């Protein structure tokens, strides 16, 4: 690889690191060509970009940002490295987790950067699959906000039904009192006669 080609790769990697807040670093060394092809297909279906690059070029691209958040990632840059870029912090973890079920726990997770948090080591994969996506968090917040509103509406409807039920009960005695009213009028003429 010529220096010009290396610079092209570094520039391309810098663009990816700038574009995505989340990326995973995996070791694909023990995978066959067919397995890597299957992994690429899964990533493509889930809108995750899979890139294989040399560790030194990845390190140079990250170092060019002069950002402390990448410091813990450098120790993970050894062996064959594949980068997984995604808008979703959870999707690459889900892909790796499902892929590993049929491929003898391969590929191995080296590290992941989610926002500003670095997760290092293969043992973090389970935790990464439990991260909630932005849409999941928004759904939970909406559900929490709707719950009290639903209770207030239910209470108002119940109160309104009680009033409506009370109005029909009040109307029923008035209807019963109506036949008695003429009897009272009939009694009224007798009263003056008694005087």
Q: How many other CB atoms sit within 10 Å of the CB of residue 82?
A: 21
| Region 118-127 average pLDDT | 92
Q: How far is residue 77 CA from its own chain's centroid?
A: 29
Same-domain check for residues 28 and 80: yes
In the block, which residue shows the tokens 């570094």? 10
Q: How many domains does the chain have?
A: 2
Answer yes or no: do 56 and 25 share one domain. Answer: yes
Rounded to the nearest integer, the mean pLDDT of the chain is 84
Residue 189 lies in a domain: no
Statement to judge: residues 21 and 107 lie in one domain: yes
Residue 138 covered by a domain: yes
Asked whether residue 8 is assigned to any structural domain, the reply reads yes
User: 60 and 146: one domain?
Assistant: no
Which carries the bigger pLDDT value, residue 154 or residue 177? 154
Domain contains 191: no
Residue 159 belongs to a domain: yes
Q: What is the arithmetic mean of pLDDT over 72-79?
A: 92
In three state form, how does the secondary structure of the chain look? CCHHHHHHHHHHHHHHHHHCCEEEEEECCCCCHHHHHHHHHHHHHCCCEEEEECHHHHHHHHHCCCCHHHHHHHHHCCCCEEEEEECCCCHHHHHHHHHHHCCCCCCEEEEEEECCEEEECHHHHHHHHCCCCHHHHHHHHHHHHHHHHHHHHHHHHHHHHHHHHHHHHHHHHHHHHHHHHHHHHHHHHHHHHHC
Is the pLDDT assigned to residue 104 strictly greater than 70? yes
Question: What is the pTM (predicted TM-score) of this model?
Answer: 0.70
Query: Could you tell me the pLDDT band of residue 92, with boundaries at 50, 70 and 90?
Result: very high
Q: Residues 34, 117: one domain?
A: yes
CATH of residue 43's domain is 3.30.70.1730
> For residue 72, what are the domain limits?
3-131
Shared domain for 112 and 155, answered yes or no, is: no
**CA–CA gap between residue 107 and residue 113 (Å, rounded):** 17
Whether residues 112 and 59 share a domain: the answer is: yes
Averaged pLDDT, 14-24: 94
**Are 25 and 102 part of one and the same domain?**
yes
Residues 119 and 138 in one domain: no
Instruction: Tell which residue, 86, 79, 133, 135, has the closest CA to residue 112.
Output: 86
Q: Based on the fold, state whether residues 165 and 122 are members of the same structural domain.
A: no
Please give the average per-residue pLDDT across 187-195, as a whole number.
50
Whether residue 13 sits in one domain with residue 92: yes
Q: Are residues 74 and 19 in the same domain?
A: yes
151 within domain boundaries: yes
Neighbours of 42 (CB within 10 A): 16
């Amino acid at each position: 690889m010529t220096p010009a080609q290396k610079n092209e790769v570094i520039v391309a990697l810098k663009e990816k690191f700038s574009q995505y807040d989340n990326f995973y670093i995996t070791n694909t060394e023990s995978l066959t060509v067919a397995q890597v092809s299957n992994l690429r297909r899964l990533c493509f279906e889930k809108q995750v970009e899979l890139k294989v690059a040399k560790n030194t070029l990845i390190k140079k691209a990250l170092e060019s940002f002069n950002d402390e958040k990448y410091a813990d990632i450098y120790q993970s840059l050894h062996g064959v490295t594949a980068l997984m870029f995604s808008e979703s912090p959870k999707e690459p973890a889900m892909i790796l987790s499902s892929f590993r079920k049929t491929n003898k726990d391969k590929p191995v997770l080296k590290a992941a950067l989610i926002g500003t948090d670095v997760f290092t080591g293969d043992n973090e994969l389970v935790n990464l699959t439990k991260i909630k996506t932005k849409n999941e968090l928004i759904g939970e917040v909406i559900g929490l906000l709707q719950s009290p509103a639903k209770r207030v509406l239910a209470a108002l409807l119940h109160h309104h039904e009680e009033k409506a039920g009370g109005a029909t009960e009040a109307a029923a005695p008035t209807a019963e009192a109506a036949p008695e009213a003429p009897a009272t009028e009939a009694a009224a003429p007798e009263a003056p006669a008694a005087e």
